[in-house]
Chains A and B, each alone.
Chain A
Amino acid sequence: SQTIHQWPATLVQPVGSPLSLECTVEGTSNPNLYWYRQAAGRGLQLLFYSVGIGQISSEVPQNLSASRPQDRQFILSSKKLLLSDSGFYLCAWAMGTEAFFGQGTRLTVV
């Protein structure tokens, strides 16, 4: 069966520090992968999506970047975190009409 792993679950980082959130998928190949941010416990904003290795599309300009070094690995990064980067980050994978989400990472920038 397909599963999606996202870590860490929580993270507290100082302003200006780097960030790396990792997401991996099992049980499928060539999935579409997505990073969402959920601010203030409500709406989901699509940040990045990838349809294949090395292919990244950015939905909104921001302080973050994404990479897909392997078929089932999707990484969200920042060189220098801002206070406004705080939020709940969700990784998702999709194929056809199915989409599944990771458990999320609560990022607090202090």
Chain B
Amino acid sequence: AQSVAQPEDQVNVAEGNPLTVKCTYSVSGNPYLFWYVQYPNRGLQFLLKYITGDNLVKGSYGFEAEFNKSQTSFHLKKPSALVSDSALYFCAVRDYSSGGSYIPTFGRGTSLIVHP
């Protein structure tokens, strides 16, 4: 079984400050890890993914995430937050040994609020 935990329901940060949205995962094999962003009443937009290779993954809108296998974490980061980054962020994991059907498991989501 695979699972994802996003321990913070909400993260508040001032504009211009660095931000971190936390994610930890559990899979029986090796993970594929993803971050998505959702704006109000909209679908999910893909931000970035880790499949293999460099542990630091760079994605859309200046976001990056660091895969840490020993801590089973995949925290989302951005050096300087913008008010427009305020949204709901989802971490997702898939065990790549689970076969041909991609069924990601999503975390509960973290609401990021960036204050002017």
- How many chain B residues touch A (CB < 8 A): the figure is 24
- How many chain A residues touch B (CB < 8 A): the figure is 24
Q: Looking at the complex, which one of B46, B108, B109 makes contact with A99 (CB distance below 8 Å)?
A: B46
B115: shortest Cβ distance to chain A, in Å? 20
Give a binary string over A66-110; 1 marks a CB under 8 Å from any B CB, 0 the rest: 000000000000000000000010101011110111111010000
Q: Looking at the complex, which one of A6, A44, A88, A101 makes contact with B41 (CB distance below 8 Å)?
A: A88
**B residues less than 8 Å from A44 (CB atoms):** 90, 106, 109
A98: shortest Cβ distance to chain B, in Å? 8
B39: shortest Cβ distance to chain A, in Å? 10
Answer whether residue B56 sits at the interface, using C-beta atoms and an 8 A cutoff.
Answer: no
In the complex where A41-B88, A43-B108, A44-B90 touch, is A94 in contact with B42 (Cβ < 8 A)?
no
Stretch at the interface among B11-19, B69-77, B95-103: B95-103
Answer whether residue B83 sits at the interface, using C-beta atoms and an 8 A cutoff.
Answer: no
Q: Do residues B101 and A90 form an inter-chain contact, with CB atoms below 8 A? A: no
Q: Do residues B42 and A99 form an inter-chain contact, with CB atoms below 8 A? A: no
B:81-116 near A, CB below 8 Å: 88, 90, 94, 96, 100-104, 106-109
Q: Do residues A97 and B109 form an inter-chain contact, with CB atoms below 8 A? A: no
A1: shortest Cβ distance to chain B, in Å? 13
Q: Looking at the complex, which one of A99, A101, A102, A103 makes contact with B102 (CB distance below 8 Å)?
A: A99
A-binding residues in B (CB < 8 A): 32, 34, 36, 41-46, 49, 51, 88, 90, 94, 96, 100-104, 106-109
